[in-house]
Every structure is written in structure tokens, then in C-alpha cells.
Amino acid sequence: MNDLVRGCGVALVTPFADGEIDYEVLGKLVEMHVENSGSIIVAGTTSEAATMTDEEYHTVVEFVIDRVNKRIPVIAGAGSNCTQAAVKKAQFCEEAGADGLLIVTPYYNKTTQRGLVNHYKIIAESTSLPIIVYNVPARTGMNIEPKTVLELSKIKNIVGIKEASGDISQIAEIIRICPDDFLVYSGNDDMVVPLMSLGGHGVISVSANILPAEMKKMVDDYRNGNVNDAKNAQLALNGINKALFIETNPIPVKEAMSIMNLCSSEVRAPLYQMSEENRARLLRELNLFGIGVPLETA
């Protein structure tokens, strides 16, 4: 089994300053995750790649790959609702030195299940990189059915799936019918241990932006047979995991990172700053976990 994510990969944010990408801070975040995460996923949903220009997308992907310098795997988001656009992204990322690709299902115009297989087959044939399919129906408006995942698993360089449907029965069915070496990662931070108990392989994590060592340890504990420790960690983390999604990702996680002095809370429109009510809820969960500033000074 070639675990490209190494158990726990961080879905990395893109820090902004006055509307521009803050590469100095991005470099610091990369170094933090080289030390604490199994892999870095760049230019995905949490990276706000959908609001980047083509030039920014190329520069961010190249910057992270170059800065990591093969110390841990870098998986680049290369999805699009246009198959040929995804092909171009995949080929660019391979040339830039990415170790793998994360490719979300086509959004907005969507497709059929047969169309999904064709979409991914065309992309897979355009690159030699291993591909992780990304299923997130709440974002894309369509679901990859388990039988479709099985068909995709037969394509040589489609090696796994990031499953963010939130449907544990669907995830169980994917694991049941797909080959043992097909890698299934949780796309929901509050479901990592349940997914691994069914035979899943780890997580591509938003929470790892603020708790990389804790998220990685939870996954490593489960893999090493310390199931009770992993279970307790999942329960302890779930307050924060849920708080990081009380508004659209990555609004809450960037707010948390700002509280922790890791980066600015700035997001790009149409995303908008967090409401004061939800910020208070987020801060409360951070405090309960021992992170942040005292409530009375917030």
C-alpha cells in the first residue's frame, strides 16, 4: 500500500494580506506542517483555489512544492467542472513536481455517474501521477456512488478517495466493495476514527491547520493499535472539529489561525468575515481545548 497522505494530510489554507497572497506566512505554515503533518494538500477547497487567478494557482502550487522540497508528499488540487481544464491543471502539477493529485467531482454543470467515470478516466490518462478522487456533495451538488468508486478504482493511477459525504454507510460500502489497496480517507474531521474502524486509511484534514500534531497523533495511534487513545482524541477534538464548520470553510479555521497568530483571518469574496456570535462559539471551543485568549479579553 502506497499511502500518499501518510495517514494525516493537512488541507492547507492560503494566507492573504490586503487581497494578495502572503508568501512569507505561507512559507512559515509549510515549515510547520513539514514538522507535524504527514503530507500537504495545496490548492484545494480550504486553499480557496476557486478564487485564485491562473497565475496565482500556478505560483502557489510551485511555491509549496519548492518549499517542501520532497520532505513530505505534496498533493495538489487539480479539479474543475471542465474536464480539459482539469487535464491542464494535472499536467501542470506533474511538471511542477507534485507527488499526487486531489481531483474533486465536476461541480455546477455536474454529470451522470457514467460521465464521472469518463471524466476521471480522461484526466488519469493525461498524467502519471497518483490521483485521489474527492467526493464532497455539499459543495458540488453531486455524489459519487459506491459502484462508481469501484469502477474508478480499476483505473491504474486512481489510488484512493477523500470521502466527505458524511454518510458512514456509504463509506462502509465503498470500503467493502473496493480492493484492499484502494485508499479511503475521511474528508470530515469528526469521523476519522469511525472511518478507520471500517478499514479507512486516515484523513485529509482542515483541523490540522491549527492542530497538526494532535490530528496526526490520533491517526498514528489508531494505526499503531492504540485504539482507545485514538477514540479519546477523536472525542476531545470534536468540539473544535464542529466549530470549524459553523460557517463555510475556511472562514472559521482562518479565524482560529488569526486567534493563534498563525495567519490573517482574511478570506476572499464571496466568503466574508465571521459573525461575532459564531466567533464567540469558536473561541469558546478553542478555550475548552486550551487554545486562544481568555474569553473576557477576546
> What positions carry a catalytic annotation?
134, 162
Handedness of CA 77, 121, 201, 198 (dihedral sign): positive
Report yes or no: 258 and 264 within 8 Å, Cβ to Cβ. yes
For residue 184, the SS3 value is strand
Which helix (H) or strand (E) segment holds residue 160: the answer is strand 158-163
Residue positions counted in the chain: 298
| CA distance linking residue 167 with residue 188, whole number of Å | 10
| CA distance linking residue 95 with residue 89, whole number of Å | 10
For residue 39, the SS3 value is strand
Report yes or no: 252 and 243 within 8 Å, Cβ to Cβ. yes
First to last CA, the chain: 46
Report yes or no: 216 and 37 within 8 Å, Cβ to Cβ. yes
Closest by Cα among 253, 244, 193 to 219: 193
| CA distance linking residue 45 with residue 1, whole number of Å | 26
